[in-house]
A and B are shown apart, each in its own frame.
Chain A
Amino acid sequence: MKILIAEDESLLLKLLVDKFNRESFEVTGCQNGLDAIDLYDEVQPDIVITDLQMPFSGGYELIFHIRKTRDAQTPIIVLSSTNVEDKIVSSLELGANDFVEKPFRFNELIIRVKRLLGTSV
């Protein structure tokens, strides 16, 4: 399973990459929204985890790119520190499948990812 992770904090990105590697995912990580859009086209991941606030272009643009420009149904999980209803709702409205608020538990995130992929937990 291929997973794309867009997260601008480098420590957290490293951690996510390692954790998902151990769960035997093929992980691609990047630190800004523009790279994420390019990498999405290149890697064709099975699932995407993205932050909302990132340099250059944020998570909204990535979701928009996947859902509208590419018209793909790749599962998307938003991982963000916002708890503003408006932002959560609009990311879900745009087509994200799930929303995880930071701070978060890794185990929970992994279960959500697997559930979205339909693999056994």
Chain B
Amino acid sequence: MLTFFSYFIQFGLFLYCMMIFTSYILMSVRSWKVLKHHKQANLNIDFNAFRQNPYLPSISVVAPAYNEGVTIVENIRSLLSLGYNNLTLIIVNDGSKDDTLEKAIKFYDLEKVDYYFEYRLPCNEIKAIYKSRNKAFKKLIVVDKANGGKADALNAGINVSYSDYFACVDVDCLLEENAFEHLIYPVINSHKEVVAVGGIVWLNNDAEVYHGHMVKLQIPNKFLPRIQLIEYFRAFLLGRTAWGSINGLLLISGAFGIFHRERVIEAGGYNKKTVGEDMELVIRLHKLMLNKKIPYEVAYVPTPLCWTEAPVTKTILSRQRNRWARGTAECLMLHRDMIGRKKYGIIGLLSFPYWLIAEWFGPFIEAFGLIFTLVMILLGYINIYFFIAMLGLVFSMSLFFSILAIQAQETFFNRYSEPKEIGRLFVTAILEPFIYHPLTVYWAIKGNYDLFFKKTHSWGEMTRTGYAPATAPKKP
């Protein structure tokens, strides 16, 4: 009886394994094709000419800032230097306790103005709106509001915006100079309504940055960020590229993306009650458009456009992964009615089940599988050689995808020139399954535990760890 039971479970685990690997293979094949086409197409698009095009949709950059006094002036300067023609910059000071606002006022010569806006999305009180007396900074709007967390600050920024699209940007991110030209391209080249566009978020730990511009990029020196870099490669190059190309994207990184302003307002803006507000919004946009039966697109641009620093210490990383796990669980539960519904097309039939099984349940299945197998070996129900062979297979498969992701980086982006650094990346990829992967599984399970049993309501204390650079990195 027990033997049968053990085989049954083993068979299930094996099936899960094969399913995950098959989907990875399918995603990689699809991504490769898309990346190739994208690269060839980009050779023939003159993004600099976009800059001169007065007819492009307007974009407001909404950048929430909380206690950023040290860096706010540099960050605003960096955002102001973006070349897009139709750009407004909305900095939302989310009730900082330090001198963020004062510094901005002083440096950019800001004055309070009677700016006309309406609370179309719920957000805490907007106390004042500032604009610069200096015409060189006429694109800059600074919003001072009562503290309410990132989602709340973004909603406030959207209320103030009159542009066709708004971009959510973490104020500590570095953007490529022509980031918005790249993001707007799918909008103006689609025959459908494009409600949101995301791009690749890439890590730049240890890169040389000078006055808000990256001078030299290099592979992170420390082990943890280096491993995360490989994770980002896998997620952004091999994963999201594929999902984006079939309009199945469930998540546009909270660090960087553009959204259709009116559609977001129609959908109700950012949800303050979840830690996964970025994912939740994208799902709600899908739902809105699919319910209305309007042909639409959530596009993805496989070009590195946004650079950010990964957490370097285990404590901060664990907090981040904990949040991601909670965010994923919350979003999937909140919109569970979409799962498997034919009405919701690719989202309901493919994206949602994939996220459910691979992203949410994945860590549980993996942990359970490992413990179960070990127990069964001890009890003598499973052959140890079989176990070792399986382990070898899983290892070689996961290594294969890491290597493939690095190869994709080489073929399509080639951002690193030092052979030695790439060598270190390979070593990291080999070590990952042993050292790092078990940790991420543990953190994810811990996140779910916190959500369900400790009732760490995301909308309690969480907001304040919100956006200090190291504490709230972006989900790949």
Contacts and interface: CB of A to CB of B under 8 A. Distances in A.
Interface of A: 34, 53, 55-58, 60-61, 63-64, 68, 81-87, 90, 93-94
Given A93-B135, A94-B136, A56 B210 contact: yes
B85 A56 contact: no
Contacts of B51: 53, 82, 84
Given A57-B81, A87-B85, A90-B135, 19 more contacts: A53-B51, A53-B83, A56-B210, A56-B211, A56-B212, A56-B213, A57-B77, A63-B136, A64-B136, A68-B134, A83-B52, A84-B52, A84-B85, A86-B54, A86-B85, A90-B136, A93-B135, A94-B135, A94-B136
Chain A at the B interface: mostly helix, strand, loop or mixed?
A: helix
Interface in B63-89: 77, 81, 83, 85
Which of B48, B81, B177, B210 has the most chain A CB within a 10 Å cutoff?
B81
B138 interface: yes
Interface residues of B, number: 17
Interface string B112-138: 000000000000000000000011101
Contacts of A93: 135
Contacts of B85: 84, 86-87
B52 A82 contact: yes
A17 B54 CA distance: 33
B375 to A, nearest CB: 59
A81 B136 contact: no
Contacts of A61: 136
Contact of B136 (A60, A83, A84): A60
Contacts of B138: 90
Contacts of A57: 77, 81, 211
Given A64-B136, A93-B135, A94-B135, A81 B48 contact: yes
Contact of B211 (A34, A84, A94): A34
A26 B93 CA distance: 47
